[in-house]
Chain A
């Protein structure tokens, strides 16, 4: 057995031990995982972005404009101090403001107009009717500015059934995903580690 397999199996079993009950081995593995993940994150962030987007342009290409986002970025660290924490609001405002600006046309075009036009099909099939009724009734369900009574209440109630269908379908797919992950880990244990499966 290769050292890779042994190491991976030990840590896999440590996590699986949680199924019996929480225990020190699981907790130790969990803390190691947090540490390694954060270390990985740190390296990827620095190697992949800080070096190529800040250090190289500033120190090798002499692109002084990169100094502005670098300073704004460093200002984020003021969040760690109580006194100068407000400084972090400025880079945050850049991120949130620019993000809000680009999101408005994107939402309008891709999320609202396209989705609405795709819902308004010629009503020549059951599917098209179901689609239109479903979109309108589930939108009615999420309209909280009016009391859900009378015809409006009835439409909103139809919406709940559509939402239940959506949640049910999502649950079915969630089962599929989670089971696949478990199969992946069990395959590793039974094949690579124990050699029971060829």
Chain B
């Protein structure tokens, strides 16, 4: 049998097993908190209770399993610190996902809509939406997701534009943080924290390096690190053992296929 040319269904089966088997064992691996995750955490720690933080749910349903632990970790931190949260979405599917996630976490912290948080909803054409909020949030979002005049909530009436926001956090599976950096940070000077899908890290890195973005809390590992910082056992930490198993399978497959191909050539 040529080990460098296995049927793809065998690979699929191995992949399925590499995930299913470790899941049966409740193993939690130690997590080392890295500087990127710490950067977002520290930034939120520095924000005062009276300030607003905008959380933009910039992701699609397709990546919800990866994005939810990230969003939950960030929201837990914000609500624990009693910071007023303004949710919004620049991707249509993020609208309902953001609303369910923020409502769910707020309820767990005993937070009330209109007092501790609001959810503005969705705006398309993210460039004009990001630029527009720099001028006037109320103009971009005259009503919130629940069709209410959100400015009538006394605690949010002072929210005009990014000048009132201590931080914007983009929870994203795509390129939105780059647009936040290029249009909100560059033009209005607001700081942008990022919690993103692991797949986007290398694309965003130059912006973190240059100080245009803060973070990122990235992927399941970033979420697990954040959970550790908060002292909460969450979904991400549990997943790391399974994640490790799948990574090792792929590494073994690649190295094995190369070795088998080398042996075949030698013969």
Contact = CB atoms under 8 A, between A and B. Distances in A.
Direct contact of A and B (CB under 8 A): yes
B19 to A, nearest CB: 5
A5 interface: no
B73 interface: no
B127 A103 contact: yes
B242 interface: yes
B209 A40 contact: no
A173 B65 contact: no
Contacts of A106: 182-183, 186-187
Given A111-B182, A183-B220, 4 more contacts: A110-B185, A173-B200, A175-B247, A181-B62
Contact of A175 (B209, B210, B250): B250
Interface of A: 19-20, 40-41, 44-45, 48-49, 51-53, 56-57, 95, 98-99, 102-103, 105-107, 109-111, 114-115, 117-118, 166, 169-170, 173-187, 190, 196-198
22 contacts: A41-B92, A44-B122, A49-B123, A52-B147, A56-B142, A95-B125, A102-B131, A106-B187, A109-B182, A109-B186, A173-B201, A175-B247, A177-B199, A179-B19, A179-B247, A180-B239, A181-B65, A182-B246, A183-B19, A183-B220, A184-B66, A190-B24
B20 A48 contact: no
A110 B212 contact: yes
B221 A176 contact: yes
A180 B198 contact: yes
Interface residues of B, number: 60
Nearest to A19: B12
Nearest to A116: B210
Contacts of A103: 127
B160 interface: no
A29 B183 CA distance: 39
